[in-house]
């Protein structure tokens, strides 16, 4: 049996990132260490077993992850977290991934150093939280929760505004300056890719629902809606996706250069197949 490296498993949501850090730490302390010798010690079959896991070409099965944890004598809690991380990383169903993500956060709950990071995962849990963060710096006078709620399209309840504002302040998404005004110091909210995809799915679906309600509440001058239906090859599909990415960047650049904002806007672009030609056998 071997002793595990000093890399803390609770720092990670992606088991590949963890394994990469774990192996790098082992290499520093043991010049004879190699993925090949580890594979042989664990009697794992297959060509370049761990290398293929690290490059994403094969998954780390639950059975093999359990053998790995036993080989390195993981404490029970760390082993449980590793196995949960493997389940989360291998799960393709986004609804099941959401459940597994909550299980990972729960297992990390006893580690105070991750409390703020895990709290930040709730940023996209409600459609109005990101909007409120951008709205508060635009409010130059003392305003009560009711008045703030009426600024939203559609309007929010007083309790929703109060709860969301408390969350934003507590988790340092919003700061109050000496003159009593709110400011955003970190404009980018970052989460690991697989975690982000799990959380953002619900966020995007809710925004689609809210946009339907907001449509009737906005005048023609306050909205811009259009759609395109066209036939494309997979290559052209990717080209359009890149154009959409560039458009988002241009919109953000315009927003950053704006010296006198008076509204918080939401741009949602849906680009997906509506019909596919069946391939001939």
152-174: b or e for each residue (b if 16 or more CB lie within 10 Å)? bbeebeeebbbebbebbeebebb
Closest CA to 96 of 23, 201, 22, 13: 201
Can the peptide bond before residue 18 be classed as cis, meaning omega within 30 degrees of 0? no
CA 219 to chain centroid, in Å, comes to: 33
User: Six-digit token pair at 115?
Assistant: 């409390």
Q: Mutual orientation of helices 76-90 and 62-71 as an angle, nearest 10°? A: 150
User: Six-digit token pair at 124?
Assistant: 């996209």
For the chain, the straight-line distance linking the first and the last C-alpha, in angstroms and rounded, comes to: 51
CA 159 to chain centroid, in Å, comes to: 26
Closest CA to 125 of 216, 211, 217, 189: 189
Q: What is the pLDDT along the chain (281 residues), one digit of tens a residue?
A: 455 557 889 888 889 999 999 999 888 887 788 999 999 999 998 889 999 999 999 999 999 999 999 999 999 999 999 999 999 999 888 778 878 888 888 888 777 666 546 666 777 778 898 899 989 988 877 678 999 999 998 899 999 999 999 989 988 889 888 777 888 877 666 566 666 666 666 777 777 778 777 877 888 788 887 888 888 898 999 999 999 989 988 988 898 888 888 888 888 888 888 777 776 55
Domains of the chain: 9-90 (1.10.260), 111-218 (no CATH), 231-272 (no CATH)
């Amino acid at each position: 049996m071997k002793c595990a490296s000093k890399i803390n498993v609770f720092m990670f949501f992606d088991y590949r990132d963890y394994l990469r850090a774990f192996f790098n730490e082992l290499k520093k302390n043991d010049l004879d260490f190699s993925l090949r010798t580890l594979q042989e010690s664990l009697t794992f079959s297959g060509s370049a077993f761990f290398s293929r896991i690290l490059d994403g070409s094969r998954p780390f099965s639950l059975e093999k992850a359990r053998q790995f944890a036993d080989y390195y004598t993981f404490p029970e809690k760390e082993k449980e977290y590793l196995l949960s991380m493997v389940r989360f990383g291998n799960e393709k169903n986004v609804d099941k991934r959401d459940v597994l993500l909550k299980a990972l956060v729960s297992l990390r709950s006893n580690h105070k150093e991750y409390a703020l990071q895990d709290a930040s995962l709730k940023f996209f849990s409600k459609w109005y939280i990101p909007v409120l963060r951008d709205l508060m710096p635009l409010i130059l006078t003392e305003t009560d929760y009711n008045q703030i709620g009426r600024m939203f399209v559609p309007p929010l309840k007083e309790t929703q505004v109060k709860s969301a504002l408390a969350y934003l302040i507590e988790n340092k998404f919003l700061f109050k300056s000496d003159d009593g005004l709110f400011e955003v110091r970190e404009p980018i909210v970052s989460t690991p890719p697989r975690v982000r995809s799990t959380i953002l799915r619900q966020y995007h679906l809710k925004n689609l629902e809210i946009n339907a309600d907001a449509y009737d509440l906005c005048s023609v001058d306050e909205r811009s809606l259009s759609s395109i239906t066209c036939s494309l090859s997979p290559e052209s599909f990717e080209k359009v996706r890149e154009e959409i990415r560039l458009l988002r960047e241009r919109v953000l650049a315009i927003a950053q250069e704006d010296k006198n904002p008076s509204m918080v806007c939401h741009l949602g672009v849906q680009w997906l197949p509506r019909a596919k030609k069946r391939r001939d056998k």
